[in-house]
Amino acid sequence: MMCDQSKTGSAGQNAVLGPSVQSSCLPPSKGRSGVAEASLLEVVLRINRGDHRLSIDPRATLLDVLREKLNLTGSKKGCGLGQCGACTILMDGNRFKSCLLLAALVERRDIMTIEGLADGDRLHPLQSAFIERDAFQCGYCTSGQIMSGIACIAEGHAGSAEEIRVWMSGNLCRCGAYDNIVAAIQDAAGKKEAGCDGAF
Amino acid sequence: MRPARKKRVAMGPFDLHRPTDLNEAISLNAHSGRTDVLSAFIAGGTDMVQLLQENVLQPRRLVSLCGLLDEGIHMDAHELRLGAAATMANVAAHPDVLLHYSLIAEAILNSASPQVRNQATIAGNLLQRTRCPYFRDVGYEVCNKRNPGSGCAAIGGENRWHAILGASESCIAVHASDLAVALVALDASVSLLGPKGQRHVNLGEMYHLPGDTPHIEADLKPGEIITAITVPRYAAGLQCSYIKVRDRASFEFAVVSAAVALDIKGRQIRDARIAVGGVATRPWRLPQVEAKLKAAHLDINALDAAAEAATQGARGQGHNEYKIELMKRAVRRALETAGGFR
């Protein structure tokens, strides 16, 4: 589950990680972490307005849980180190890099992924803007760009192309679709200002 | 260009403790500010998760501070008090910080990315580890910070990123935090809480020089955590500038940075505070520059002449001599900006 090479979800997990480590030299733990060995934690994660009860390795990042446990593969692992932003999601309305969050530390937070944006066939205005402005080529960074862009607009940081470039600097695009990404965000920000929708 | 040596593997296993009480968290004896620890703390996690993913840190126990620390930001007649768990984003957006301690907001907004600033705590930012590529790549066994006594690969290696101030024969790695530079310029202190109780330490003095123990970075005992950062009221309302020079326009660490805060009355500089980053093994005040500006007349020639003193004691390591002149110019630019000449 933790390696980039893992192809399966939870079924392959123990094979990938190896046997649990015996750590009897450590005192029995208190709090909610369970027994002394490095074992699975029971957590409840709230994703796209639904609650999910899961058994996870303490090392699991939110990104890994989304992709490997919940099949929400819209969020991408571009670097796994918080540098590219392809894994950006919203948590309590703010933008975060899901590869930098340990899943066990975000219980009960209100998490939204790219999959949670559209209402059936009705796309979020920023999703529509990305299509109208041709704001993606390979699409790998796109989920993260859109989630980050939604927050950028909601924060009030989309007042100009220059401001958008500064406030979107946590999201990289190797295809170089930046100009169109900025245009899409400007379009959607303008629609928001004009009061066309309540999606932000 | 130095080749990467380490192959990516998974994080090593650890027990994750999520205590519901601060005293319980402290009793678990996690130890911040050094690499050779069995137990480590995690708060925001933006640096810790990177260190774990790259196996730089391999603790057997991780103690979460989530929900246990003060997130508040309060200013009163004596000081600005920042809870350790206040996020970078919230501190940089706070009206009292923007109005009265703008250097802090400037330093923060020049750091990281919006997503990281939402997640990162300010105390964690102060305790982040160096970006030295040899430290961060465990494929290099030679690193006195990770393997005490093994040597320093940057000395005699690729060192354009490294320190021209505060270096030793054991380590030339630069401290990475912009916020720390701004806070040291403003005489900030930290409140620490540990198994033996509470104490307060000047932030600049909390950081150790590498000396011959570069694996010990901060004056923190086992179990000790930062609970708050305080900035004195006398450092409020100054004319400030934070200049950060880096290889990219955003989302990149400093090659050189300068934090300046001037106490100006009329056309006279009553007091000057200057600290530099990207160039030293810990945030670095420049008292020799400050001394030239105390009671000086506010004119651009005085500022430029004072900046000349910035390079005193600076020493290159082979690839970073450019930082000496660049640091002087960054200090001059920050002085001119703070002084209202730009």
Distance from CA of A18 to the nearest CA of B (A): 10
Task: State the DSSP string of B261-279.
Answer: EEEEETTEEEEEEEEEESS
Per DSSP, A115 falls in state G
Instruction: Search chain B and give the residue with CA nearest A147.
Output: B115
Cβ-contact B278, B257 below 8 angstroms = yes
The residue to which tokens 């126990």 are assigned: B61
Residue A81's alpha-carbon distances to A85, A86, A99, A105, B123, in angstroms, are 9, 11, 7, 17, 20
Question: Do B116 and A100 lie within an 8 Å CB cutoff?
Answer: yes
Q: What is the pLDDT of residue A196?
A: 66
Q: Does B43 touch chain A (CB under 8 A)?
A: no
**pLDDT tens per residue, range B96-139:** 999 999 999 999 999 999 999 999 999 999 999 999 999 999 99
How many other CB atoms are found less than 10 A from the CB of residue B342? 11
Do the bridges between strand B73-75 and strand A50-56 make them parallel or antiparallel, or are there none, so unpaired?
unpaired
Q: How far is CA A4 from CA A67, A80, A175, B314, in A?
A: 11, 9, 22, 43
Q: What share of chain A is helix, strand, coil (3-state, %, to 5)?
A: 35, 15, 50
Residue type, B99: L
Q: Dig out the tokens for B191 from the structure.
A: 């409140």
pLDDT tens string A78-88: 999 999 999 99
User: Which sign does the torsion angle of CA A137, A140, A143, A144 carry?
Assistant: negative
Q: Crossing angle, helix A142-155 and helix A125-132, to 10 degrees?
A: 120
In this structure, are residues A170 and A98 in contact, taking their beta carbons and an 8 Å threshold? no
Measure in Å the smallest separation between the Cα of B71 and chain A Cα atoms.
Answer: 16
Query: Rounded to 5 degrees, what are φ and ψ at B223?
Result: 85, -10
- Confidence grade of residue B8 (pLDDT, cut at 50, 70, 90): low
The DSSP symbol for B57 reads -
Residue range B327-339: mean pLDDT, rounded: 97
**A167 and A80 Cβ atoms separated by less than 8 Å:** no
Q: Cα dihedral sign for A162, A144, B89, B50?
A: negative
- For A192, residues 6+ apart whose C-beta sits below 8 A from its C-beta are A125, A153, A199, A200
pLDDT at B128: 98
Distance from CA of B80 to the nearest CA of A (A): 25
pLDDT tens-digit map of B11-60 = 999 999 999 999 999 999 999 999 899 999 999 999 999 999 999 999 99
pTM here?
0.92
CA distance B255 to B301: 26
Q: Which amino acid is at A152?
A: C
The answer, for B252 touching chain A at a CB cutoff of 8 Å, is: no
**What whole-number distance in Å separates Cα of residue B58 and Cα of residue B81?**
33
CB A40, CB A46: distance < 8 Å: no
* pLDDT at residue number A33: 42
| Chain B residues in contact with A156 (beta carbon < 8 A) | none
Cβ contact, residue pair A33, B13, below 8 Å: no
Give chain B positions within 8 Å (CB) of A20. Answer: 13
- Interface check B49 vs A, CB under 8 A: yes
Query: Which residues in chain B touch residue A97, judged by CB atoms under 8 angstroms apart?
Result: 115-116, 119
- From CA A167, how far away is CA A163, in angstroms rounded? 6
B118 contacts chain A (CB < 8 A): yes
Closest partner CB to B10 (pick from A3, A37, A96): A3
Per residue in A42-96, pLDDT tens?
999 999 999 999 999 999 999 999 999 999 999 999 999 999 999 999 999 999 9
Read off the pLDDT band of A192 (50, 70, 90).
confident
Average pLDDT over residues B133-151: 96
Tokens 């130890």 correspond to B31
- The chain A residue lying nearest B21, using CA atoms, is A31
Whole-angstrom Cα distance, residue A119 to residue A121? 6
Q: Decide if A169 and B251 are in contact by the 8 Å CB cutoff.
A: yes
CB B73 within 8 Å of CB B98: no
Residue of B nearest to A29 (CA): B17
Are B273 and B186 a contacting pair, CB within 8 Å? Answer: yes
Gyration radius (Cα) of chain B, Å: 20
Is B11's Cβ below 8 Å from some Cβ in A? yes
DSSP label at residue B189: E
pLDDT at residue number B6: 75
Q: Do residues A167 and A158 lie in contact, with contact meaning Cβ atoms separated by under 8 Å?
A: yes
pLDDT of residue A17: 33
What's the rounded Cα separation, in Å, for the pair B55 and B49?
10
B10 touches chain A (CB under 8 A): yes
In this complex, the residue of A83, A85, A105 whose CB is nearest that of residue B66 is: A105
The predicted structure's pLDDT at residue A12: 34
Residues B174-195 pLDDT 10s:
999 999 999 999 999 999 999 9
* Interface contacts A/B by beta carbons within 8 Å: 117
Say if CB B65 and CB B25 are below 8 A apart: yes
- Contact status, residue B253 vs residue B47, Cβ threshold 8 Å: no
Which residues are CB-contacts of A99 (< 8 A; sequence separation ≥ 6)?
A: A61, A62, A63, A77, A79, A80, A81, A82, A87, B49
pLDDT over threshold 90, residue A31: no
Residue A30's pLDDT band, with cuts at 50, 70 and 90, is very low
Which position has the token pair 């930001």? B73
- At residue A27, does pLDDT exceed 60? no
CB B68 within 8 A of CB B21: yes
**Confidence category of residue A193, pLDDT binned at 50, 70, 90:** confident
Chain A residues whose CB is inside 8 A of the B20 CB are 31-32
pLDDT at position A18: 33
CA gyration radius, chain A: 19
List all residues of chain B from 230 to 249 with a beta carbon under 8 Å from chain A: 249
What gap in Å lies between CA A177 and CA A133, rounded to an integer? 10
Q: Which residues from chain A sit within 8 angstroms of residue B51, using beta carbons?
A: none
Report which residue type is found at B312: Q
B7 — contact with chain A (CB < 8 Å)? Answer: no
Rounded CA separation B329/A36 (Å): 55
User: Distance between CA B58 and CA B314 in Å, rounded?
Assistant: 35
Q: By CA distance, what is A39's nearest residue in B?
A: B15
DSSP A66: I
Question: Tens digit of pLDDT for each residue in A134-189?
Answer: 999 999 999 999 999 999 999 999 999 999 999 999 999 999 999 999 999 999 99
Beta strands across the sheet bearing B15-17: B15-17, B61-64, B39-42
3-state class (DSSP) for residue B104: helix
